[in-house]
A and B are shown apart, each in its own frame.
Chain A
Amino acid sequence: MQFLYSGLTSGSIYGLVALGFNIIYNTTGIINFAQGEFVMIGGMLIYTLFSVMGLPFPIAFFGAVGCAFLVGIVFERVFIRLTRIKNELNLITVTIAASIIIRDVAMHVWGRDSLPVKEFIPVFNIKMPGGVISSQSVLVILVSLAVAFGLNLFLKKSRYGKAMRASFDDPVAAETCGISVSTIRVMSFAVASLLGAVAGVIIAPIMFVTYDDGIMTGLKGFSAAILGGLGNFGAAIAGGLMLGIFESFSASVIPSGLKDAVAFLVILLILFVKPDGLFGKKKVHRV
Chain B
Amino acid sequence: MLEVKSLYVSYGGVQALTNVSVHVKKGEFVSLIGSNGAGKTTLLNSIMNIVSKQKGSALFDGKDVTKKTTSNIVADGMALVPEGRRVFANMSVHENLEMGGFKRPASEVKQKLAEVTEMFPVLGERASQMAGMLSGGEQQMLAIARALMTNPRILLMDEPSMGLAPLVIKEVYEKLKVLASTGLTILLVEQNASVALKYAQRGYVLENGRIIMQGKASELLGDNEVKRAYLGKEYKEKWER
Contacts and interface: CB of A to CB of B under 8 A. Distances in A.
A260 interface: no
Given A169-B88, A169-B90, A169-B91, A178 B74 contact: yes
A163 B102 contact: yes
Contact of A173 (B69, B82, B95, B103): B82
A177 B89 CA distance: 15
Interface string B142-168: 000011011000000000000000000
Contact of A176 (B70, B84, B91, B95): B70
Contacts, number: 72
A159 to B, nearest CB: 7
A178 B71 contact: yes
Interface residues of B, number: 28
Given A162-B99, A182-B69, A176 B88 contact: no
Given A172-B50, A178-B102, A180-B69, A166 B86 contact: no
Contact of A169 (B50, B69, B89): B89
A106 interface: no
A179 B72 CA distance: 9
Contacts of B72: 180
B80 interface: yes
B102 A176 contact: no
Contacts of B149: 177
Nearest to A159: B102
Interface in A177-232: 177-182
Interface in B75-99: 75, 79-80, 82, 84, 86-91, 95, 98-99
B173 to A, nearest CB: 21
Contacts of B147: 176
Contacts of A170: 86, 88-89
B30 interface: no
A73 to B, nearest CB: 19
A42 B147 CA distance: 42
A11 to B, nearest CB: 27
Given A163-B102, A166-B91, A169-B91, A178 B150 contact: yes
Given A176-B147, A177-B146, A178-B150, A166 B99 contact: yes
B88 A173 contact: yes
A174 B80 CA distance: 11
A185 to B, nearest CB: 13
Nearest to A287: B84
Contacts of B82: 172-173, 176
Given A162-B95, A162-B98, A169-B91, A178 B86 contact: no
A177 B102 contact: yes
Interface of A: 159, 162-163, 165-166, 168-170, 172-182, 286
Interface of B: 48, 50, 69-72, 74-75, 79-80, 82, 84, 86-91, 95, 98-100, 102-103, 146-147, 149-150
Question: What are the 7 tightest A-B residue pairs by CB atom distance, in nearest-first order?
Answer: A178-B103, A175-B70, A178-B74, A173-B86, A169-B88, A180-B71, A177-B99
22 contacts: A159-B102, A162-B91, A162-B98, A163-B99, A165-B90, A166-B91, A170-B86, A173-B86, A173-B87, A173-B88, A174-B88, A175-B69, A175-B74, A176-B70, A176-B74, A176-B82, A177-B74, A177-B149, A178-B100, A179-B71, A180-B69, A182-B69
